[in-house]
Structure 1
Amino acid sequence: MDIRKLDRTAVLETVRLVRQADPTHWDLPTPCAGWTLRRLVAHMAGQHHGFAAAAAGGGADLADWRPVETGGDPSAAYRDAAWTAIDAFARPGALTREFTLPEISTTVRFPATVAIGFHFLDHVVHGWDVARTLGVPLELDEATTEAALAFALRVPDDERRLVADPLFRPALPPPSGASTLDLVLTSLGRSPDWSAAPAR
């Protein structure tokens, strides 16, 4: 499994999706409770910059991870941030580093393949968040979603999911006939049936 290839696939899918947003979409709610699409995309862009810093040997400063001010052209700002991470992971030596990921641990450093796996999983899930917000399909092949499921099932479903603003909510039971992507989502506390439409 080439984690950099998987990550690039997932991240470029998020770029494709974000490009479809127009000015009427940025204030829409997303599956991330309390977050508009603009806030979600700013967070995703910040994560790209943070991981790029970690790939270069930095990343310990939480300022590296702060959401990006996307300004008047959020799609362009997001695209640029995405390529910052893709390019950082592709540099010689990146796969031999240990990454500092302070949002996960301030005491443990992570092997590059594990850290890039976190980034990959995050952007499969956030890609789905963006797709659901826009009402368009997430276009990832089965091999990519199967790899995402393998990473998702390694995420502990413990008390850390019960704190305020957790990285992931407690796992949900999968629906009958769940797809691989559905299993990724439910294992991380997202409902595949989420909709921005108000209940009737």
Structure 2
Amino acid sequence: MDIRRLDRQALSLAGEAVSRVKTDHLGRATPCADWTLYGLLRHLVSQNRGFAASARGAGEPWAVWHGGDLGDDPAAAYETSADELTAAFAEDGVLERKFALPEIGEGFTVPGRIAIGFHMLDYVAHAWDVAVTIGAPWEPNAELTTAALRVAAQVPDEGRGAGAAFRRRTAVPDDAPPGHRLLALLGRDPSWTQRPC
């Protein structure tokens, strides 16, 4: 599987949702209980910058994973961070390079191929988070959904829960669509809807 190409698809999927966000959406609650939509968009920008730094061997400091600035145009901030990330992931040797991922654990590193898979999965899921928050479509193609399902199935049950990257898996019917199975594997409720304030 060409993980870098799939990651670009995930970035684009999330970017499509982000491009539909209006200023009055930013205070809305999201499926990510700890974040309003503003906080989620800030997280997306921060993560892009953190993964880009890690791809270049500078991902160990916590500071590079936080502090993403949305400025006056969240969509433009997202696109700038996505371009930076895409350039970093395109570098020669990046698939074998060790990526520091301090949010998982101090001193934790994985080969680039695995780190990029984590990023791809995260952005497919967060594309849904943004889309469902604003009532926009979320339609990852079959190839991207299959790849994300493959990575999601490997996320261990240990360490899941409140405050973690993923909540505990949720149940869906055996005949649920692949996208719903993916969301459930990551602890999301595919039937989540924006609730009035």
- TM-score class, shorter-chain normalisation, is over 0.9
Structure 2 unaligned blocks of 5 or more: none
1:16, CA displacement in angstroms? 1.5
TM-score (norm 2): 0.95
Matched, 1:96 2:126: no
Which residue does the alignment assign to 1:151? 151
User: Are residues 129 and 67 of structure 1, via their aligned partners in 2, closer, same or farther at CA, if it must alter by over 3 Å?
Assistant: farther
Mapped to 2, the partners of 1:67 and 1:173 lie a distance apart of: 35
Tell me what 2:31 maps to.
31
Secondary structure at 1:161's aligned position in 2? coil
For residues 82 and 28 of structure 1, the distance between their equivalents in structure 2, rounded to whole angstroms, comes to: 23
For the residue of structure 2 that corresponds to 1:118, the secondary structure is helix
Give the aligned residue type for 1:83. Answer: D
Q: What one-letter code is carried by the residue in structure 2 that aligns with 1:52?
A: A
Q: State the percentage of identical aligned residues.
A: 44
Residues 113-154 of structure 1: per-residue CA shift (max 9 Å, x gap): 000000000000000101101111112111110110000000
Q: Which amino acid aligns with 2:172?
A: P
Letter in 1 for 2:160: R
After superposition, the Cα gap between the structure-2 partners of 1:34 and 1:106, relative to the gap in structure 1 and judged at 3 Å, is closer
Give 1:198 deviation, angstroms: 4.2
Give the match for residue 74 of structure 2.
74
Q: 1:152–1:187: 8 Å Cα contact kept in structure 2? A: yes
Other-structure match for 2:83: 83
Offset of residue 60 of structure 1: 0.1
Matched pairs, number: 197
Scaled by the length of structure 1, the TM-score of the pair is: 0.94
Match of 1:19, as an amino acid?
A: S
Determine whether 1:111 maps to 2:74.
no
Report the more deviating stretch, 170-179 or 138-147: 170-179
| Contact 1:47/1:67 (8 A) holds in 2 | no
SS in 2 for 1:110: strand
Q: CA RMSD in A?
A: 1.4
**Structure 1 segments (4+ residues) deviating >6 Å:** none
CA distance in 1, matches of 2:71, 2:113: 33
